Structure 1
Amino acid sequence: MCGIYGTTLNYNEQQVKDKLKRTAFRGPDKMGWQFYKHENHNITFGHNRLSIIDLDPRSDQPFTYYDHIHIVFNGEVYNFKAIKETLVKKGYKFTTTSDTEVLCAAYLEYGQDCVDHFDGMFAFVIYDEKKQLFFGARDRLGKKPFYYYHNGKNFEFASQISSIQMHMDDLTISEKAIAYYLAWGNIPDPQSIFNEIKKLKAGHKFTFDLNTGKFETEAYWDIDYKNERPYQGSYEDAKKELDGILRETVSARLFADVPVGVFLSGGVDSSLVASMATQTSSTKIKTFSVKFNEKGFDESKYAQQVADHLQTDHNVIECNYDEGIDLIQDFCHYYDEPFSDSSAIPSMLLAKHTKKQVTVALSGDGGDESFIGYHRYNWAKKGSIFYKLPLSVRKVGASILELAPHYKLKVISKALRYKDENEVYLSAMTGVDKSYINTPYDTNDIDELKYLVHENKNLYERISDFDTKTYLNFDINTKVDRATMAFSLEARAPLLDHRVVDFANSLPTEFKFHNGVMKRILKDVLYESVPKHIFDRPKAGFTMPFSRWFKEDLKDYVLSELDDKSLKDIPCIDVEKVQFRIKQHMDGTWDRYPLIWNLLVLKQWLNNNGKGYSIK
């Protein structure tokens, strides 16, 4: 787990160091860079290393293999030992025990198809001297980030946008990206906050030809959203097969040359990972959870119950108000571009204190998307019955509900006016009330709509696939990567192994959601080792008590940061409508904390990054 950087632009050594130092928190163990010159090309590769496998300096990066293959690599290839055995039989030689060297050899053997052999989370770039090209890829689910700048001639890339941003004088802030951020709470791939910088999409690989300046991308993996490979076995067959896959994915992610632990929230997904970790590890597993002092937010007692049953070395991290406020102040330093998932703050607190004992932590991310686990999926299905009624009838009902005093009924009123259930779900993910966003851009216009708007699957499966390609990638993976890497902690997600995702995607809906039981098959695997009664409770989220804080403890902060003058400096908003919504939150008539947090983050980013850039 590291930070990577590279460029064909002419920066001096100090400028390269500046770019690497900006994100040194991603890899504090060794900062390295290398200059390459071939014919008319000046090439720089840089790397911030967080040593996880083969701690010896021989595996430091940039790494060179067979004299002409140079690489910078962020992430892990979990099946590298199996790949290595195959390559050794083919005559390849290795001088390290790292996965980095195996990745290079795999490229030489399989060419650009090497990514099809990798099971892991990764973003890497190879400079092939003989072919005079860059070849790189990002993992299938987008767990590791990859930003790039391409002006038709030169190319620059990095794990975080701030490394490219430094010493770059031709960037402009994207008004379109700001509009999309206000709707989504993040900036969907392939956009970034700067017009000239893009994100490589998850499951894509690329080439950059040094001689022509041509840059090309290609998808190498996708979920089966057309339902072309449905599972044919029984439920019991599927449960047994899933159990085996999960044991393999957890076991693979426990391998490291540094201490490893597990994030344990007490929910189904993290408990399943912790359970299988205890069963496959020869040493006692350390588990970590967050304790909130706010009423209604503390779920630590459930994590403790699971930890007691599994007999883990459990650590409870108390969420301190002052510490949380400090992280809010430094938020954009680590997240680089506007990002407003409020659970990023407790995620950072968890990572900060977990790093004191381990360098790698396994998480339960991915279970809700693949196995139909969010409550909103059930509400979407229940609500879909209304869209069998004519729009004219629904509009009458909407008009009546619009007169109701409770804001939740007003939200339902708006939803009834949509064309169909697809449009409703899309609006639920981007904000039912977007009237305060003042922009000519259609913020629902994303390539990933194809996973939602089709007739190959039922509604449950479509929104599950859509979330995997949007919410999981744009939000969850971004949140976890930045939160953990801010404190040099590597997070690994067994449920995001592509084999788990592919398998879940192939299963009949009733294997995942049946008689009101969400994540049915995942729960049944868990209940083989952890008692069911521990989980007989409502599903909880992972967030901070911002709703109350913004009305009480942080009220003065909110009103000063989002005063009239400040709001007028924020692009793409209707100031009067925003002012009205802030007032609604303060007087308790409508919970507007997501909007307030959204604007606070955007303002902080603009304050720290907006000077000297035009907005286009």
Structure 2
Amino acid sequence: MCGIVGIFDMRQMRDIDLQLLTRMNETQHHRGPVEGGVHREPGIGFGHRRLSIIDLSSGQQPLFNEDHSVVVVFNGEIYNFAALMEELTRLGHTFRTRCDTEVIVHAWEEWGKDCVHRFRGMFAFSLWDRNKQTMFLARDRLGIKPMYCALLDDGMFLFGSELKALMAIPGLSRELDPCAVEEYFAYGYVPEPRTIFKGAFKLQPGHTLTLKVGGALPAQQKFWDVPFKAHAPMSAEDTEQELIVKLRDAVQSHMVADVPLGAFLSGGVDSSAVVAMMAGMTSEPVNTCSIGFNDQAYDESVYAAEVAKQYKTSHYRETVDKDDYGLIDTLARLYDEPYADSSAIPTYRVCELARKRVTVALSGDGGDENFAGYRRYRYAMAEERVRSALPASLRKPMFGFLGNVYPKADWAPRMFRAKTTFEALARDLVDGYFHGVSVMPDRVRAQLFSDGFKRSLQGYSAIEVMRKHAANSPTDDPLSIIQYVDMKTWLPGDILTKVDRASMAHALEVRVPLLDHEFVEWASGVPSAMKLHGQEGKYVLKKALEPHLSHDILYRDKMGFSIPLASWFRGPLREHVRQALLGSTLADTGFFNMAFLQEMVEQHQSGRRDYTAPMWTLLMFEAFLRNCMGVEEQRPLAAA
């Protein structure tokens, strides 16, 4: 696990400024504190920070082929590197190390751009082929590892594992992209391929980019997609048995390491499944870690302890204060662009805990996306059943009217909070799903933004992100469509971004076997009715795991990594929220309707409305402006 950076002169192959290259590289020291290296030649400069996982004594980067005509910088792990090394050796290639990085340069020599199809793992890499005068960049299929890029006005192309590496270059414009701002306040993150800056972009998951000297910036090329291709019919029992075989294979492939390895164990289905599989593959106890909260309403560590006892793991648990809000500015600096998933706080803490014991940790991320585990899938499918029962000519005006007139009753029991449901039923599947998952739905964003900012959008709406992906979906099954959309948006933009930054802040490598691409391909072909069965999400996964985990672990209500934001905003963060949302930092952008922000704060803190998600999203945007844009002096929070 590492951090990579690079500069490529697309025009005249001018010399690369060593000081600038080094500055870029050192912004990512936390990603690779073991050692660093740079390489320069006319028109090209690569930098690398290393966290040694495999072949600790060699494998330093940038790494070359035999005659130094091909050089690579690589972030990630190629889990099938040993098999590829054997194959490439038979084809006449000579290896000087036993690390996965060297496989990339020889695979490029042998198969060119098609080399990415041979890699099983998580990766973001860039290589320079001097003989072909070609620079090639690639990002893994699901977007586990990040890659940020920019083309400057002077023809210099930049890339880095984090946006802060690009921000180290003075020529990168800091102008905010209004469309990215609109997307952030809809999703809580900036979806690929945008970044918060107009002049930078993300290499999308499952895509490559090929640059030539003297050429223009080309379009990104897709090399993989989630197939959602149905399997040949088989019984439920056979499907469950095959699921366990596939899961064991994915977990085993992710356990190769020359450093201490363990797993996150939350006590949920997915992390418990990973630990159960790991325990059967090693003679030593699995290292597991979990965090608990000092408030039982947010603590599920008792379930983690149950699984740890069952599989006799070496379990490590720490308790943290539920009022752990002192991380707000730290998170803003880690993520480089606005990011509003509040579970980043406990994720940061569990990575901090894990690093005390291991260098590599396996996580259960991906289970909900693969097997429809989120509650929102249940809600979306219930709404879709209503839509399919009524003609659009009747449904849209009827539910549109009800959505307009029904009050926003945040204070009422859930069964009476129907406004959002009515609004969703007036829309089609994708628009309704977007409406349901948005941190700020259209009607709230319409009040949030100033008239001037709305004009800068020129009619653009964040729904276009989901519509684009839904239009490219390889399936017409409603549940599979929204799973596909989530795999293109929520998964890389929120979940994987959260884990990458939180883990790399502590020089910890996190691996996600449930997002092994072969496992994802297989899971996508399982019938929807076996994923969401009645009201039970992840049904087939849970049934398959019944011999391995207790009923309480498999079928208890999902908790998630929750923190008490609503009470923070009415209690210990009351004054900080008022200063952040109503102060000059947000007002001076000209983006916001400050009268609505005033109303939002007053109504939330009085208890009349619940604006928790919008307020957290605004709070993290304000923290981004202060910590990443240097808008004003940093304002310390009260100690957590």
For residues 361-386 of structure 1, the C-alpha deviation after alignment (integer angstroms, 9 at most, x for no partner) is 00000010110111111111122244
Match status 1:585 vs 2:604:
yes
Q: 1:351 to 1:170 in 2, by over 3 A?
A: closer
Q: Give the counterpart of 1:217 among 217, 220, 229.
A: 220
Partner of 2:635: none
Q: Give the counterpart of 2:616 among 597, 610, 615.
A: 597
Match status 1:529 vs 2:532:
no
Quote how far apart the aligned CAs of 1:611 are: 4.8
Q: How does 1:19-34 map to 2 (within 5 A)?
A: 19-34=24-39
Partner of 2:334: 334
Quote how far apart the aligned CAs of 1:405 are: 7.5
Partner of 1:158: 160
Match status 1:248 vs 2:267:
no
Distance 1:588 1:416 in 2: 26
For residues 87-135 of structure 1, the C-alpha deviation after alignment (integer angstroms, 9 at most, x for no partner) is 1111211111100011111111111100001110000001001001111
The amino acid that maps onto 2:168 is M
Partner of 1:311: 312
For residues 235-256 of structure 1, the C-alpha deviation after alignment (integer angstroms, 9 at most, x for no partner) is 2222222211111111111110
Partner of 1:392: 397
3-state DSSP of counterpart to 1:270: helix
Match status 1:421 vs 2:429:
yes
Quote how far apart the aligned CAs of 1:402 are: 2.6
Match status 1:436 vs 2:440:
no
Say what the alpha-carbon RMSD is for the aligned residues. Answer: 2.2
The amino acid that maps onto 1:427 is H
Distance 1:201 1:267 in 2: 29
For residues 156-185 of structure 1, the C-alpha deviation after alignment (integer angstroms, 9 at most, x for no partner) is 100011111113234022222112111111
Q: 1:567 to 1:35 in 2, by over 3 A?
A: closer
Distance 1:286 1:454 in 2: 39
Q: 1:404 to 1:356 in 2, by over 3 A?
A: closer
Quote how far apart the aligned CAs of 1:455 are: 9.7
User: Which moves more between the two structures, 469-478 or 69-78?
Assistant: 469-478
Partner of 2:21: 16
Distance 1:612 1:398 in 2: 39
The amino acid that maps onto 2:241 is K
Partner of 1:182: 185
Distance 2:448 2:418 in 1: 19
The amino acid that maps onto 1:559 is R
Match status 1:354 vs 2:346:
no
3-state DSSP of counterpart to 1:124: strand
Distance 1:68 1:455 in 2: 40
Unaligned runs of 5+ in 1: none
The amino acid that maps onto 2:352 is K
Partner of 2:111: 110
Would you say the 8 A contact 1:261–1:286 is kept in 2? yes
3-state DSSP of counterpart to 1:349: helix
Distance 2:109 2:292 in 1: 49
Would you say the 8 A contact 2:21–2:46 is kept in 1? no
Match status 1:205 vs 2:208:
yes
Q: 1:251 to 1:481 in 2, by over 3 A?
A: same
Q: 1:512 to 1:43 in 2, by over 3 A?
A: same
Q: 1:540 to 1:570 in 2, by over 3 A?
A: farther
Distance 2:399 2:219 in 1: 47
Quote how far apart the aligned CAs of 1:272 are: 0.3
Distance 2:554 2:370 in 1: 19
Partner of 1:449: 468
Partner of 1:234: 235
Q: 1:555 to 1:82 in 2, by over 3 A?
A: same
The amino acid that maps onto 1:424 is G
Partner of 2:638: none
3-state DSSP of counterpart to 1:8: strand
Runs of 4+ with deviation above 6 angstroms: 452-455
Partner of 2:480: 461
Distance 1:405 1:507 in 2: 37
The amino acid that maps onto 2:210 is T
Q: 1:96 to 1:587 in 2, by over 3 A?
A: same
Would you say the 8 A contact 1:231–1:507 is kept in 2? no
Match status 1:271 vs 2:272:
yes
The amino acid that maps onto 1:302 is Y
Partner of 1:3: 3
Distance 2:172 2:217 in 1: 20
Partner of 2:56: 55
3-state DSSP of counterpart to 2:561: coil
**Kindly, what percent of the aligned residue pairs are identical?**
35
Q: 1:15 to 1:455 in 2, by over 3 A?
A: closer
For residues 210-254 of structure 1, the C-alpha deviation after alignment (integer angstroms, 9 at most, x for no partner) is 2435434210001125x4x44433222222222111111111111
For residues 527-586 of structure 1, the C-alpha deviation after alignment (integer angstroms, 9 at most, x for no partner) is 222222333321111122111111101111111222243431245322222221222211
For residues 186-215 of structure 1, the C-alpha deviation after alignment (integer angstroms, 9 at most, x for no partner) is 111111111111100100011110243543
For residues 307-335 of structure 1, the C-alpha deviation after alignment (integer angstroms, 9 at most, x for no partner) is 1111111111212357x333222112211
Would you say the 8 A contact 1:292–1:319 is kept in 2? yes
Q: 1:552 to 1:447 in 2, by over 3 A?
A: closer
3-state DSSP of counterpart to 2:61: coil
Distance 2:46 2:467 in 1: 32
Match status 1:412 vs 2:431:
no
Quote how far apart the aligned CAs of 1:510 are: 2.1
For residues 468-525 of structure 1, the C-alpha deviation after alignment (integer angstroms, 9 at most, x for no partner) is 1111111101111011011110000000011111111111112222243221221122
Distance 2:336 2:585 in 1: 21
Would you say the 8 A contact 2:265–2:272 is kept in 1? yes
Q: 1:126 to 1:555 in 2, by over 3 A?
A: same
Quote how far apart the aligned CAs of 1:154 are: 2.5
User: Which moves more between the two structures, 335-344 or 233-242?
Assistant: 233-242
The amino acid that maps onto 1:350 is V
